[in-house]
Amino acid sequence: MKPSTWIYYLREAWQGVRSGGLLSLASALAIVVSLAALAVVMILAVNLQHMTRVVENQLQMVAYLVEDFDRTWQDELMRKVKAIPHVKQATFVTREEGLQRLQDQLGSDSVLLEAAAESGNPLPDAVEVEVDDPRYMGQVAAALGTIESVEEVAYRRDIVNRLTALTDGIRNVGLALVLLLAAASLLTVANTVRLTIYARRREIAIMKLVGATNSFIRWPFLLEGFLFGLVGAGLALAIAWGGYSWLVVRVGEGLPFVPVLSPDAVLLQVAQWLLVGGVLLGVGGSVVSLRRFLRV
Amino acid sequence: MKPSTWIYYLREAWQGVRSGGLLSLASALAIVVSLAALAVVMILAVNLQHMTRVVENQLQMVAYLVEDFDRTWQDELMRKVKAIPHVKQATFVTREEGLQRLQDQLGSDSVLLEAAAESGNPLPDAVEVEVDDPRYMGQVAAALGTIESVEEVAYRRDIVNRLTALTDGIRNVGLALVLLLAAASLLTVANTVRLTIYARRREIAIMKLVGATNSFIRWPFLLEGFLFGLVGAGLALAIAWGGYSWLVVRVGEGLPFVPVLSPDAVLLQVAQWLLVGGVLLGVGGSVVSLRRFLRV
Amino acid sequence: MITLIGVSKVYRPRRVALLDVNVHIGKGEFVFLTGASGAGKSTFLRLLYREQTPTSGQVIVLGQDVARIPMRKVPYLRRQIGVVFQDYKLLSDKTVWDNVAFPLLVTEHPPREIARRVPAVLEQVGLLGYEKNRAGELSGGEQQRVALARSIVLNPAILLADEPTGNLDAGTARIIADLIQDIHRRGSTVVMATHSDWIVNRLRQRVIHLRHGRIVADEYPGRYVHEA
Amino acid sequence: MITLIGVSKVYRPRRVALLDVNVHIGKGEFVFLTGASGAGKSTFLRLLYREQTPTSGQVIVLGQDVARIPMRKVPYLRRQIGVVFQDYKLLSDKTVWDNVAFPLLVTEHPPREIARRVPAVLEQVGLLGYEKNRAGELSGGEQQRVALARSIVLNPAILLADEPTGNLDAGTARIIADLIQDIHRRGSTVVMATHSDWIVNRLRQRVIHLRHGRIVADEYPGRYVHEA
Ligand SMILES: Nc1ncnc2c1ncn2[C@@H]1O[C@H](COP(=O)(O)OP(=O)(O)OP(=O)(O)O)[C@@H](O)[C@H]1O
Ligand SMILES: Nc1ncnc2c1ncn2[C@@H]1O[C@H](COP(=O)(O)OP(=O)(O)OP(=O)(O)O)[C@@H](O)[C@H]1O
Ligand SMILES: [Mg+2]
Ligand SMILES: [Mg+2]
């Protein structure tokens, strides 16, 4: 194609955007806002997934050893524990460390702990085990129980079950929401493009009757769709990025224990999807919507 | 206006919907999906708010009494406690009940508890206090401390602070998301209506030149907008309702401890907003968009 | 009925369509508007039903200063004026029936009245049997006749016809010219822009001839003026 | 150049626009297409540039069976055929220049060539100075001439003109008729549907007369047939 033709395409695309005027503005805004909402929810979903993973990984089980455990067997024992499938990490905790940690956890004002301390350290040595997936805790606990010198395996079965269900639930709801919003954005973009083209159907028909090929007519619309998609997704990202960065700072100050992802990490992921999605939507929407009017 | 004119309006509105064909379908879908997304997020927000309130209300503080507390003073004491501002509820817990409850909470496999039990019940009598807003816990604790025969006031200061920050954060993010999605829905509906009218600008101009008043031209579009808004919001609600009911059942099975609201309670709230909003959007969008083309 | 006093119309940026036009058309008159392409005939008509307002001067139609009446009264003015637009301006997605019935609907005529009048005017323009066709799929001349049918269905006080026979063969054009004469006889004031010399010469009515926006001839009875 | 064999065109539901039309138009011929309103003239032309396909029969234009060529080849056929549409079909939001330049753009003529040819044809139709006006704001006759300018800017092998003088005064119409004759002399095959008896009788070319979709007369040189 000749450069002059390209100049024509670009001029047309630009005039298409401009002549729409407020219409184009409203369309662009609708696209930006719905993509921004999508971005926000995607960011939240990515974070939720991250958080649940962090929480899951903090789930531990403790194997209390017999009271007269001989610490020379420690290495042998740890080898056996680590050989169990799905065990991610195992730490030996002496009874002294155990008491110290309990004191730290419950705080110094625990009446219960004071009482316990009075009667000497009641704790046995123990092995703390981290499991790679909370679903396998039951299995791992059973395996631990068969190891000699393990007296008792303790883990909060109910909490583990609840947490697994909860994180699954959160993940599903998040995914459903992302899909719903993605569908909404898709429809908004496609619909906007479609209506823009519909408003110019007469023009398209005339062009065809005067000898324009489909591709000649299509290009300006594709460029327009591309611009819409790109600018829409870009602005949406900017909004989401700004909002999220602000949120991360606030969360870092107010809720230091909540494990949020850094903006860069999340947004690179989201940005890819959004930009590629936005552009594909804009261009794809144009192509599909045009087809009907090009049959002249 | 005569009935025949109304019949004309209705016929026109219906033909407007029908002649749009796929266009109307896509528009309606865009509206439905974006309203559905809004509904879902509204439902989630309402639930989150409910949950954080439940969690907040579960935050208790315990006033441990002196070891030699005379239970004949119990009523007098409780009166004093309840007189403290922001105390919502107060319960006297005897040391026997306290131990029982501790056993229930920690589970029977708690090594620590066994040890404690061996040395006799270490707990004093106590008063459990519920505060109406976690922000006032410090204040209430101080007031409790001044009551005679209160030895020590215990509450998880750090957890309370975190939780307050967290629930505030969740509430804000939820609100922001609802607003963003409301804006997206608004733009989608307004934009759809606007483009539909734009596509028929020539027709509108002709009608005016042949002697139609603005209101004559406006009515079918208003009805069309009304229909779009109503049906869009209705379908969105149906989707949200169905999804939420399903979710509530699943949550009830898998996560009985998560305090979800019953569908009816939530959806009545959401439904009002959505229906009124949808219809206002549809009709309002029509009026505003038409104005420009009626100046002929 | 129609009075123009010192009327000029200049389109942006500076295309002069009408220049200092002074003319009076009395009730019941029949006036041909002639002139070369671009002379200002359509502009003249557009000022009368307020599609456009004059750049200067006064346009008085049916006793009202058209440029001064408030927007919301314009529709009621237009209902007294039947217009055959040069480009027809039919609702092309609607049926012939709907197009012709539209002015009756707007003025809230009862359905029975509509069902009576629409076929009557369609018969007059020779389009009985086309009621259910979409206006956009008619032939050029058929569309032109639908436009005429629509313009006369309300028995307007004033009929403005902009080139109403431009797409008609001589035979059909004669029928249409006779029809317009008929409407004139029944009391309507008629202003008809036309390029058809034989219609002008046949009807022998008042002829206003425009050249570059000015009235250069105004005669009764007049003849078609051939330029250059 | 153009051959129709047993061509009929029936519009849904059952409006017969053309009925068993057999005709051959050779290279370089000039043919008038006449007939009453609705006789099928526009339909005849529409079949040639494939706006419509025949219900039955074969339409052969420039050696190709028009109904059979694949969709993607249609634009290349249309570029060899200049068409003045009865309703002009201008891009009304674009300028006169853009409208006339459009076929040149589509065929990727260099900008310099476009800058040369557009004013040239605009001058021929008498519209120099209107380049920057939006097509939609021109007078009826001006629009018609823009449509003609666009149809001849590519020097088409075939020129189809559907009522190209319907909105022109006698003087301008004569200029346009002469222009079309000029284009014919330079080698284009011309088919012109018209209601103008004096143009037909002046040019003395072949006249094909349609009545209710049938060819009822085909004479060279022919005269305008007055019906009824
Ligand atoms: N798309 C269409 N759908 C249905 N009927 C049509 C369509 N196009 C044309 N017709 C009908 O076919 C007949 C012939 O139409 P055509 O446009 O060929 O007439 P014409 O000879 O050009 O008339 P005119 O001189 O009025 O332009 C007319 O009766 C018209 O109503
Ligand atoms: N909306 C507009 N904007 C700018 N110029 C206009 C507009 N309408 C008309 N003109 C110009 O004003 C002049 C008069 O136009 P008008 O339509 O009145 O002519 P006319 O006598 O009806 O011509 P025709 O016989 O070709 O229809 C023309 O040169 C035209 O280009
Ligand atoms: Mg005119
Ligand atoms: Mg025709």
B64 and B51 housed in the same domain? no
End-of-domain residue from the set B118, B133, B155: B155
CB-nearest to B181 from A37, A44, A198 is A37
- For the cut 80, the answer to whether the pLDDT of residue C85 exceeds it is yes
**Cis, peptide link before residue C13, omega less than 30° from 0:** yes
Where is pLDDT greater, at A195 or B212? B212
For A98-115, what is the mean pLDDT?
Answer: 62
- Which residue has tokens 């899951």? A56
Region label for A289, one of left (φ > 0), alpha (ψ between -120 and 50) or beta (otherwise): alpha
- For the cut 70, the answer to whether the pLDDT of residue A274 exceeds it is yes
Model confidence at B23, pLDDT cuts 50, 70, 90, reads low
D148 min Cα distance to partner chain A (Å)? 12
Q: B186-218 burial string, b = 16+ CB within 10 Å, else e? A: bbbbbbbbbbbbbbbeebbbbbbbbbbbbebbb
- CATH number of the domain encompassing residue B148: 3.30.70.3040
Residue-wise pLDDT tens digits, A197-249: 777 888 899 999 999 998 888 888 888 778 877 888 888 888 888 877 877 77
Model confidence at A26, pLDDT cuts 50, 70, 90, reads low
Q: Is the CB of C39 under 6 A from ligand 2?
A: yes
Whether residues B5 and C107 touch (CB distance < 8 A) is answered with no
Model confidence at A120, pLDDT cuts 50, 70, 90, reads low
What's the pLDDT score for residue B145? 82
Q: Where are the alpha helices (DSSP H) in chain C?
A: 41-48, 74-78, 96-106, 111-124, 140-152, 170-185, 197-203
A45 and A90 housed in the same domain? no
Nearest CA in chain B to C46: B209
B36 and B68 housed in the same domain? no
Q: State whether residue B102 sits within 8 Å of chain A by CB.
A: yes
Whether residues B116 and A122 touch (CB distance < 8 A) is answered with yes
For C93-115, what is the mean pLDDT?
Answer: 93
For residue B85, which phi and psi values (nearest 5 degrees)? -60, 145
- For the cut 70, the answer to whether the pLDDT of residue D215 exceeds it is yes
Distance C88 CA to ligand 1 centre (A): 16
For D110-128, what is the mean pLDDT?
Answer: 94
- Reported as half-sphere exposure (CB side, CA atoms, 13 A), residue B121 has a value of 14
What's the pLDDT score for residue D7? 96
ipTM exceeds 0.85: no
Q: How many CB pairs (< 8 A) connect A and D? A: 53
Other chains touching A, judged by 3 or more CB pairs under 8 Å: B, D
- The DSSP bridge partners found for residue A50 are none
Show residues of chain A in contact with B198, CB under 8 Å. 23, 195, 199
8 Å CB contact between A68 and A287: no
A110 and A243 housed in the same domain? no
- For the cut 70, the answer to whether the pLDDT of residue A43 exceeds it is yes
A173 and A232 housed in the same domain? yes
Nearest CA owner, ligand 2 atom 31: D138
B233 and B263 housed in the same domain? yes
What's the pLDDT score for residue A40? 77
Nearest CA in chain A to B115: A122
B75 and B181 housed in the same domain? no
Q: Which residues contact A292 (CB under 8 A, 6 or more apart)?
A: B22
Q: Which residues contact A59 (CB under 8 A, 6 or more apart)?
A: A130, A131, A134, A137, A155, A159, A160, A163
C111 min Cα distance to partner chain B (Å)? 7
What's the pLDDT score for residue C119? 96
How many whole angstroms separate alpha carbon D211 and alpha carbon D228?
11
Where is pLDDT greater, at C193 or A285? C193
For A56-80, what is the mean pLDDT?
Answer: 80
Q: Which of A31-35, A89-93, B128-132, D197-201 has the highest mean pLDDT?
A: D197-201
- Count each helix (H run) and each strand (E run) in chain B, helices first: 10, 4
What's the pLDDT score for residue B96? 80
What's the pLDDT score for residue D162? 95
How many whole angstroms separate alpha carbon A13 and alpha carbon A24?
12
B171 and B40 housed in the same domain? yes
Both tokens of C21, joined, read 């036009």
8 Å CB contact between A31 and A188: yes
- For the cut 90, the answer to whether the pLDDT of residue D211 exceeds it is yes
End-of-domain residue from the set A120, A155, A190: A155
Model confidence at B106, pLDDT cuts 50, 70, 90, reads low
Model confidence at C37, pLDDT cuts 50, 70, 90, reads very high
How many whole angstroms separate alpha carbon D143 and alpha carbon D99?
10
**B88: containing domain:** 60-155
What's the pLDDT score for residue A294? 81
Count of domains forming chain B:
2
What's the pLDDT score for residue D141? 92
Distance B204 CA to ligand 4 centre (A): 26
Where is pLDDT greater, at D38 or A165? D38
B206 and B79 housed in the same domain? no
What is the average pLDDT value for chain D, to the nearest integer? 94
A95 and A141 housed in the same domain? yes
Whether residues D108 and A2 touch (CB distance < 8 A) is answered with yes
Whether residues D106 and A19 touch (CB distance < 8 A) is answered with no
- For the cut 80, the answer to whether the pLDDT of residue D136 exceeds it is yes
Q: Could you tell which of C4, C9, C11 is best to mutate to test the pocket of ligand 2, judged by most ligand atoms within 8 Å of the CB?
A: C11
Residue type, C129: G
Nearest CA owner, ligand 2 atom 17: D139
Model confidence at A111, pLDDT cuts 50, 70, 90, reads low
Other chains touching B, judged by 3 or more CB pairs under 8 Å: A, C
B19 and B97 housed in the same domain? no
B90 and B142 housed in the same domain? yes
For A90-106, what is the mean pLDDT?
Answer: 75
Q: Is the CB of D137 under 6 A from ligand 2?
A: yes
Residue-wise pLDDT tens digits, B52-103: 677 666 667 788 888 888 888 888 888 888 888 888 888 888 888 877 776 6
Q: Is the CB of D220 under 6 A from ligand 1?
A: no
End-of-domain residue from the set B110, B133, B155: B155
Residue-wise pLDDT tens digits, B110-146: 555 665 566 667 678 888 888 877 778 788 888 888 8
How many whole angstroms separate alpha carbon A201 and alpha carbon A294?
9
Q: State whether residue B62 sits within 8 Å of chain A by CB.
A: no
What percentage of chain A reaches a pLDDT higher than 70?
79
